[in-house]
Amino acid sequence: MLLYIHIPFCDSKCFYCAFNSYTDRFHLKHEYMNALKIQLRNDIENYIIKDNKKIETVFIGGGTPSTIKAFEYEEIFEIIKPHLEKDAEITTEANPNSASYEWLESMNKLGVNRVSFGVQSFDTAKLKFLGRAHSSNSAITAIQNANEIGFKGINCDIIYGVQNDTLESMKKDFDMAFSLPITHLSAYSLTIEEGTKFFDRSSVKIDDEELSYEIFDYINNKGFHQYEISNFAKNKVSESKHNYGYWQHKEYLGVGAGAVGYVKNQRYYPSKGIEEYIKNPLINEREDISLDDIKTEKILLGFRSLNGVEKSLFDEKEMKKVDDLIEGDKLYMENERIFNKNFLLSDEIALYILD
Ligand SMILES: C[S@@+](CC[C@H](N)C(=O)[O-])C[C@H]1O[C@@H](n2cnc3c(N)ncnc32)[C@H](O)[C@@H]1O
Ligand code: SF4
């Protein structure tokens, strides 16, 4: 079982971001952390203890986990620790602005062994354009600090496909990232989301497939292999086991306002609003996921990543199309699993097969 914990606070709202986070509810931080503990205890009781399971990975995401003081996480870890698998991967996201040396060190002492920094770019003008509140230097310092403290995994998020991005400007960002002690790089193509400052400003996004291919090649040539459409790792052990778990369609607990859980063929959605969540952290909406939907998800996720799709999932008619795609050099088969050669075509290929 994977565990996701959501922290819905940010110091400021970036112009592209539609994640569930608030910049005006800081007075609720302590109550929110208490509410998290209630849901966490409940979910662990119902889905871990009763089913005799273990937690394989933990991911504290947001919003911005580094907006919460490290001591507020102590009890969360006390609750989780007895149920963790040995050597579990425990990641926290962090913003370069709020992830001080002390915060990183305290989180590391609590058991966090992987940190994912929202860097987006090292270029001052681009950071400003994206509405980021930190400088390039603070991102560099945060990554160096995390390395000095001894985090096993350090990820850097970079966004591309923003107005004025070119291969040359992106190379500068990646070169800077690779000059730092990172083990993982996430390169996200900008998506324009409803409800953000960038919505209705379509000129902000460059839709250039060629740029994506060039970026993938550039990162691969730097020695970081692509194991998902947006994710690159220094070596096999540096891949994010938590995210890989999603692509393998593993079950996950979703704890916190606006989190999503998936257990026993059901998705569950705790309240999105912070106040509602604090009032009742155990209320959630539930949705049955049909076997057909599970199959579609497994295929979509499998083709977006190196996980691939088990051959037995396809019926006879679909398998004919798979064989054609293997013939056409788009897919390949290994050990009874089907793999996609070009992650950018994953949706198209999945829809063609399932049509
Ligand atoms: C929850 S945030 C990371 C942690 C922290 N909140 C921060 O931004 O520093 C997760 C990542 O999603 C990516 N992201 C968010 N919205 C996006 C969008 N509209 N298009 C592309 N990437 C996006 C960013 O790279 C961001 O770092
Ligand atoms: S990108 Fe990160 S810091 Fe910016 S609004 Fe989204 S969650 Fe908050």
Q: Which atom of ligand 2 is nearest to the CA of 18?
A: 6
> Which residues' Cβ are closer than 6 Å to ligand 1?
16-17, 19, 61-62, 64, 93, 95, 118, 120, 157, 159, 188, 190-191, 193
DSSP state of 22: B
- Distance, in Å, from the CA atom of 122 to the CA atom of 173, rounded to the nearest integer, reads 6
Give per-residue pLDDT as tens, 91-137.
999 999 999 999 999 999 999 999 999 999 999 999 999 999 999 99
Atom 2 of ligand 2, residue of closest alpha carbon? 63
CA distances from 140 to 91, 156, 176 (A): 19, 10, 9
In this prediction, residue 207 carries a pLDDT of: 87
In this prediction, residue 243 carries a pLDDT of: 97
Bridge partners of residue 332, in order along the sequence: 339
Q: For the chain, which ranges sit under pLDDT 70? A: none
CA 190 to chain centre: 15
Give per-residue pLDDT as tens, 135-185.
999 999 999 999 999 999 999 999 999 999 999 999 999 999 999 999 999
The fold adopted by the segment(s) 2-247 is TIM Barrel (3.20.20)
Atom 7 of ligand 2, residue of closest alpha carbon? 63
> Which residues' Cβ are closer than 6 Å to ligand 2?
10, 13-14, 17, 19, 21, 62-64, 95, 118
- Distance, in Å, from the CA atom of 347 to the CA atom of 345, rounded to the nearest integer, reads 6
In this prediction, residue 79 carries a pLDDT of: 98
Domain spans, the chain: 2-247, 294-355
From edge to edge, which strands make up the β-sheet containing 114-120?
A: 225-228, 231-233, 184-189, 153-160, 114-120, 84-94, 55-62, 2-7, 252-255, 261-263, 266-270, 284-288
CA 7 to ligand 1 center in whole angstroms: 13
CB atoms within 10 A of CB 248: 14
- Which residue among 9, 19, 243 is best mutated to probe the pocket of ligand 1, counting the most ligand atoms within 8 A of its Cβ? 19
